Structure 1
Amino acid sequence: MRLATYNVEWFDDLFNKQDELVIDDHWSGRRDITRAEQAEALGVVFTAMDADAVMIIEAPDTGTRRDTHRALENFAHAFDLRTRKVLIGFANETQQEIALLYDPDKIKVRHVPGESPDAPRFDTEFRIDLDFDATEDRVSFSKPPLEVELTTSSGRVLHLIGAHLKSKAPHGAKTHDQVMRASICNRRKQLVEAIWLRRRVDALLAEGESVIVLGDLNDGPGLDEYEHLFGHSSVEILLGEGDTALYDPHAAQALRGRLTPQPSTARFYIEPEKRYLQALLDYVMVSRDLRDLAREWRIWHPFDDAQCWRAPELCKALLTASDHFPVTLDLAV
């Protein structure tokens, strides 16, 4: 079975108010890329991945008149994808849903939101004194994680959690002080979200579940200068330690140190510097009981992955489709 996580930048912009896929020469939300170019590139990427289930981060919107299910099913139909059914959890107000696009002939899925005494349900509020100042941090997810019970054709049950943690980027800040305050505030919220998610993982592991956390964590070891204020990155918090630790080989590689080769799953253009920044933001973390069943993790990077580089059409499509690249995991289940 192949699982994937894929953050699709401005996916919602490719659909009209009736959730129909729009393939035309108008600009998409992506820089200098038309809606037709992005849509067709996504069709190439999803077809090439050939995953049994894709956790889509920044999926099309669900609202009073919009419907993620309808939009993604229209997308799947347009490109004849076998992943043609859609599952979402708690809709949010950001126009960037978390959704699972899956092949109903291979797997069965259902939304199973849970809670435990120290990890409330993801559509509620989490309270914690993060810095021991006798003041509680009260946090709500802007994009509540999607909890999925996935049953394979062989009857194996997996518990998936699709996540999109708070961005650390200081959007709207202009002065140095504003940037610093916004960055620290955003990192604080992101760490609380990571702690909340990790406590939910611990509760599931205590119940004997096989757990996979996948999505865009907007973080990685050493990605910014504010990490030292809190001691750990969100990724390290989610990975955990000891017998309950989760594992992702790309995270493990990044944690070895800054001077070692660093994998990346995203590529952003920095306008003032006229260059691209690469970062490891997207992960597929598995619980210990799944390690022996994991056959291959793969970042579909157009330059770093040899198979992608040798396929010019796919290489171009990956660069056109999104500023993130898919991550897949093949499991022998």
Structure 2
Amino acid sequence: MRVATYNVEWFTNLFDEQNQLFNDTEWSGRRDVTRAQQTEALGIVFAAIEADAVMIIEAPDQNRKRNTVAALMGFAAAYGLRARRAILGFANDTQQEIALLYDPDKITARHAPGGDATDEHGAAGAPRFDGTLRIDLDIDATEDLVRFSKPPLELRVETRAGFIFQMIGAHLKSKAPHGAKTPEDMLRIGISNRRKQLAQAIWLRRRIDTHLDEGSAVMVLGDLNDGPGLDSFEDLFGRSSVEIILGHRGPNALRDPHAARALAQRIGAMPTTSRFWIAPENRYLQALLDYIMVSTDFDVRSPRWRIWHPFDDPQCWSDHRLRNALIAASDHFPVTIDFDDEIIARAGYSETA
């Protein structure tokens, strides 16, 4: 069984209002990449990873004129993908949905949001992801109201062999200080945004703990836009949202070998899943932003992780067609986990990273 997470930069720009692929020479949302080039590149990448399920971050838009599920299923049909059925949870207004594209012959998946619905006043604890969380962000004895701009996609997944687990797709947004006009504004807005992202991580972790307390296996995957050493406010707040969601060093900690490697060191080489063009510096920046975290229930299923990085993965590098497609398709690269969906009658596990 193979599950992937893939942030597709401005996937929505490749579709018209009839949810059909443009597939033309107009520019896509990618720098110096046309819509036809990005579409073809994505077809190559999706076919190459051949996943049974792909959590798509920045999936096509869902609104009165656009349909995420129709767009994704049309894309899958165009490229003959096994993962040909799509499911969407709570839509958002950012044009970047979170959706699962999966093979219905291998798994069943249904939207299974947990927690209580809230009104505008919110609720404490771990309310439903489309609601509002009440939490004190700055220890001033006053509760703040926090919402997800992109509510996580919470699914109940069952494999053909009968393995059931809770899958949560997440996209925690970046903390850029939009609207700042002075250095003081940048600091104030940056700290505020950091607090909100950590609150979202706490909210997500509470939902994870609820599933674990109920005895469910859990997989959390997506783009967390954060990680050890990536943020100037990390020392101020003490830990990253990645550590919070992992439950780092806690009794119910999730596992991701790439995150573990990054957390074990501050200087030196570490895995990366994304490559961004930094115009003022005239160079590219690479970062570890995409994760697949799993509970200990996966340990006996021989989990094996892989980052499909065109420069770091030998097979991706040696396949020129795939290498070029990975570069053209998105500023993120897919991350996959392979595991045995049938119970293995032995203890222990193995991993590759």
Tell me which interval the TM-score lies in, with the shorter structure as reference length: over 0.9
The structure-2 alpha-carbon separation of the partners of 1:268 and 1:244, relative to structure 1 and needing over 3 Å to count, comes to: same
Amino acid across the alignment from 2:74: N
Superposition deviation, residue 181 in structure 1:
2.5
More deviation in 295-304 or 115-124?
A: 115-124
Distance 1:283 1:242 in 2: 18
The structure-2 alpha-carbon separation of the partners of 1:305 and 1:225, relative to structure 1 and needing over 3 Å to count, comes to: same
SS of corresponding position for 2:194: helix
More deviation in 287-296 or 198-207?
A: 287-296
Distance 1:173 1:273 in 2: 21
Superposition deviation, residue 172 in structure 1:
4.6
Superposition deviation, residue 177 in structure 1:
2.8
The correspondence for 1:200, drawn from 201, 204, 207, is: 207
Cα deviations across residues 118-143 of structure 1 (Å, max 9, x unaligned)? 20000100011123111212101110
Contact kept, 8 Å, 2:165 with 2:216, in 1: the verdict is yes
Superposition deviation, residue 242 in structure 1:
3.0
Distance 2:162 2:96 in 1: 32
More deviation in 200-209 or 167-176?
A: 167-176
Cα deviations across residues 38-59 of structure 1 (Å, max 9, x unaligned)? 0000000000000000000000
The structure-2 alpha-carbon separation of the partners of 1:264 and 1:171, relative to structure 1 and needing over 3 Å to count, comes to: farther
Amino acid across the alignment from 2:188: R
Distance 2:181 2:316 in 1: 38
Structure 1 match to 2:132: 125
Distance 1:46 1:171 in 2: 34
The structure-2 alpha-carbon separation of the partners of 1:269 and 1:287, relative to structure 1 and needing over 3 Å to count, comes to: same
The correspondence for 2:165, drawn from 127, 139, 158, is: 158
The correspondence for 1:283, drawn from 261, 280, 291, is: 291
SS of corresponding position for 1:243: coil
Structure 2 match to 1:239: 246
Structure 1 match to 2:82: 82
Superposed, 1:22-171 pairs within 5 Å as: 22-115=22-115, 118-171=125-178
Superposition deviation, residue 224 in structure 1:
1.6
Distance 2:186 2:330 in 1: 26
Q: Identity of paired residues, percent? A: 64
Distance 2:188 2:58 in 1: 26
Structure 2 match to 1:330: 338
Superposition deviation, residue 296 in structure 1:
1.1
Structure 2 match to 1:17: 17
TM-score by length of 2: 0.92
Distance 2:272 2:176 in 1: 18
Distance 1:2 1:299 in 2: 13
Q: What stretches of structure 2 of length at least 5 have no aligned partner?
A: 117-123, 342-353
Distance 1:172 1:307 in 2: 43
Structure 2 match to 1:311: 319
Superposition deviation, residue 189 in structure 1:
1.0
The correspondence for 1:266, drawn from 269, 274, 288, is: 274
Contact kept, 8 Å, 1:5 with 1:284, in 2: the verdict is yes
Contact kept, 8 Å, 2:137 with 2:196, in 1: the verdict is no
Distance 2:330 2:182 in 1: 29
SS of corresponding position for 2:41: helix
Aligned length: 333
Superposition deviation, residue 174 in structure 1:
5.0
Contact kept, 8 Å, 1:146 with 1:163, in 2: the verdict is yes
Superposition deviation, residue 103 in structure 1:
0.3
* Aligned structure 1 segments of 4 or more residues deviating by more than 6 angstroms: none
Distance 1:166 1:23 in 2: 29
